[in-house]
Structure 1
Amino acid sequence: MADFAIAPAPVPTVPVEGEAAAFPVRRILCVGQNYAAHRREMGGDDRKPPFFFTKPADAVVPPGRDPAYPSRTANLHHEIELVVAVGRPGRDVAPEQALDLVFGYAVGVDLTRRDLQAAAKEAGRPWDAAKGFDDSAPVSAIRRWSGAPPQGRIALSVNGQTRQDGQLSDMIWNVAEIVAEASRLWALAPGDLIFTGTPEGVGPLVRGDRVEGEVEGVGKLSFTVA
């Protein structure tokens, strides 16, 4: 085994509910505008399929740690999401087999520098700085899961006031379709996390805000913007 010129970075991890072993995060794939109402909220229409963007693995904020308010923004937004944890490799997988790749599910919040995103959209530039910054992906503990994906309520509140309140059934693409499509764009591998999109009601956060999110049957996630 070759020596490293510098010490390798630690592997980001997320706890697995009820287990001592942690889930190592390989990378984060995210689906954009996968709820019809949110698509309209962001100025789109219902006809186009969702698209993907990415976050680095070290954007993960595990439960029990508060994300820092990022630099270079005056408009940080929350987006509550169901997160798929991939436990088996797959490439070019059909939707009928896609759920076989799923290790479990978690609650996630896609934090977004909305002002930087708007500027990037206007200039036709990538969204990396708007989406893939440090501490931009708070995630709850992962719940192991087999069979049909979760169904039910997905909601987020800020300082006790509900901001987002939707149903997982409102997704334009369901979990199996998302995993299958991701496997056509990337070779999926154990450790991948897939954020599946957010319902309407995204909005701003400021320092000190208390955020609480929940996906019915999956879990809860809470943090304070540091």
Structure 2
Amino acid sequence: MVLLLGQAVGRCFSLRLEELISDCLQQNTHNDALQIELAKHREQNETLERVIDKFYGIRQHVFGELEDISWDDKCACLLNDPAESWTFNDSSTAKYISSLEEELERLRRAVDNLQNKLRMGLEIENHLKKRVRELEKKRIASDNMILNKITELRHYHSQHRIQIINLLDEGRSHVKWIVDELVAKCRQLEMKGQNLEPTHSDVKLPGCKHRDVNLGMPDLTSEAL
């Protein structure tokens, strides 16, 4: 019995909870709609305030009033003004409109001048960019030419270095051969000089009893030459 009563109470509680959740969701939806509506009204009020400030500024310019009053007072002043005050046929309003048109024309000329300066600046910038690209291409071409010339000079230097080394090797070999030949000749001369000994013979010549004949060494210098 108690169990059945507890289950019934639980079902009632669940149903009530679901109803409350549903009501809460509906209330949230309603609150969101109110927030959107409030935002629209605020935007409209801001627009209305700007319009009223604009008209009140015109009123101050026409009547020469410079007093700064609240927004509600501005609305009251505008509502209390007679309709004739807002006709556009009087001279003061025409002058004000004319001054606004002159100001607008001045602003247009200023904008045109700025646009012309901007266009001229863009043209100068494009010209400078083009010039920079051309100079960059010339620099790259010059660097490549210098590198090619350096490579050619290195190749030329390498070739002549090899030729000079070969010539020096040939000259050294030739000088060595000459020195070796001279050393060999000197050794031959030394050996011939050691083998030759001086001899003295007594030769009898007609009409002479005795004569010493000296048979000297041959001219080694002429032989060597």
What TM-score results when the alignment is normalised by the length of structure 1?
0.14
What TM-score results when the alignment is normalised by the length of structure 2?
0.14
Q: Which has the higher contact order (CA 8 A, sep 6+)?
A: 1
